[in-house]
């Protein structure tokens, strides 16, 4: 399969495959008053394990859900019963919100057969497919991490590119936050954007919980002045929707896309970071 997505029909037909694991990677913004883990326990796709985006992360930093060390990731997902050679199908209960972050994380650590469920949990439920409750426990597995250093960039790299415009920086936050017209939801962050960055709000990339068609994405990026043939760095508030943006760019034809993991949670608080509005 060349698409990053599988359909609900495909998943229903393969749920019992021994080499397949389903992963609920739901995560919600604090202002939604939703508890992803509680919702998982109340009902999820049969056999799905819960991937805690905030828990399977670098806990030594105060930045939210940063990538953990490869060995820590391998230990955490191995305990969930996920091996690097399995077919991994990730979904979330919004449709296409946090699943891309987990999908990207598995890919960044070397999983080669990782996909997202098209339409996610909402589509599965709308088709009245089976749901089960409770915690799923799988036998421990061995995940051999192979970290892709090209998938992610840090503060210093982004600052260098922002200063000399040597790589396109694209921000997925809503336009009012990008332009400094609305406050950041996290305390202590300045308002505005990374110098020489371009705004493509994630809300423009999806429709009814699915990624928009490739031709529409290509038109959108062209209208925003994004050159898909040149290297791109994506950013957002905390590294969640930056991945959805990276996914959309790749689907539109970009081949050199990296995610700024710290995103505005880091940049907006960093004393050495220049801010534009």
Spatial CA neighbour of 231 closest among 177, 155, 169 = 169
Residue 220, pLDDT score: 98
Residue 58 and residue 37: Cα distance in Å, rounded? 19
**5-147 placed in CATH 3.40.630.30:** no
Q: Which fold has domain 150-267?
A: Oxidized Rhodanese; domain 1 (3.40.250)
Question: Where does residue 120 fall: left (phi above 0), alpha (psi -120 to 50 degrees), or beta otherwise?
Answer: left
> Over the stretch 156-207, which tens digit does the pLDDT of each residue have?
999 999 999 889 999 999 999 999 999 998 888 999 999 999 999 999 999 9
pTM metric for this prediction: 0.96
**pLDDT over 70 percentage in the chain:** 100
Measured from the Cβ of residue 123, the count of other Cβ atoms closer than 10 Å reads: 18
> Over the stretch 61-71, which tens digit does the pLDDT of each residue have?
999 999 999 99
Alpha helix (H) ranges present in the chain?
A: 8-14, 36-42, 70-79, 99-108, 120-126, 155-164, 175-178, 214-223, 241-252, 263-267
Residue 30, pLDDT score: 82
Residues whose CB is less than 8 angstroms from the CB of residue 113 and which lie 6 or more positions away in sequence, other chains included: 85, 86, 87, 88
Given this chain, do its domains 5-147 and 150-267 carry the same CATH topology? yes
Spatial CA neighbour of 190 closest among 177, 201, 174 = 177
Q: How far is CA 230 from the centre of its chain?
A: 22
> Over the stretch 73-85, which tens digit does the pLDDT of each residue have?
999 999 999 999 9
Q: Which amino acids are annotated catalytic?
A: 236
Residue 209 and residue 215: Cα distance in Å, rounded? 18
Residue 123, pLDDT score: 98
Written as six digits, the tokens of 65 are 């859900």
Q: Up-side HSE of residue 139: CA atoms within 13 Å toward CB? A: 3
Secondary structure in 3-state letters for 153-203: ECHHHHHHHHHHCCCEEEECCCHHHHCCCCCCCCCCCCCCECCCEEECCHH
Torsion angles phi and psi, residue 168, rounded to 5 = -70, 135
Residue 140, pLDDT score: 98
Written as six digits, the tokens of 4 are 């990053």
> Over the stretch 208-238, which tens digit does the pLDDT of each residue have?
999 999 999 999 999 999 999 999 999 999 9
Tell me the domain boundaries of the chain. 5-147, 150-267
Residue 15 and residue 42: Cα distance in Å, rounded? 20
């Amino acid at each position: 399969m060349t698409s990053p997505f599988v359909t609900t029909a495909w998943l229903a037909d393969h749920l019992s495959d021994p080499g397949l694991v389903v992963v609920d990677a739901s995560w919600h913004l604090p202002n939604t008053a939703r508890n992803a883990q509680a919702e998982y326990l109340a009902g999820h796709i049969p056999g799905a394990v819960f991937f805690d985006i905030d828990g399977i992360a670098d806990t030594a930093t105060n930045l939210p859900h940063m990538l953990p060390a490869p060995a820590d990731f391998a230990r955490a997902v191995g305990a969930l019963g996920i091996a690097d050679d399995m077919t991994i199908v990730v979904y979330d209960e919004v449709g296409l919100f946090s699943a891309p972050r987990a999908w990207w994380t598995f890919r960044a650590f070397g999983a080669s057969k990782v996909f997202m469920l098209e339409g996610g949990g909402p589509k599965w439920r709308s088709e009245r497919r089976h749901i089960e409750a409770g915690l799923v426990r799988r036998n421990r597995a061995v995940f051999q991490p192979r970290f892709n250093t090209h998938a992610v960039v840090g503060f210093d790299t982004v600052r260098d590119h922002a200063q000399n415009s040597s790589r396109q920086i694209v921000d997925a936050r809503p336009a009012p936050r990008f332009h400094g017209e609305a406050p950041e939801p996290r305390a202590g962050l300045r308002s505005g954007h990374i110098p020489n960055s371009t705004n493509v709000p994630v809300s423009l990339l999806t429709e009814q919980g699915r990624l928009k068609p490739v031709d529409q994405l290509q038109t959108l990026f062209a209208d925003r002045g994004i050159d898909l043939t040149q290297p791109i760095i994506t950013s957002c508030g905390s590294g969640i929707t930056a991945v959805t943006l990276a996914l959309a760019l790749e689907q539109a034809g970009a081949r050199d896309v990296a995610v700024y993991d710290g995103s505005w949670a880091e940049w907006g608080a960093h004393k050495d970071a220049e801010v534009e509005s």
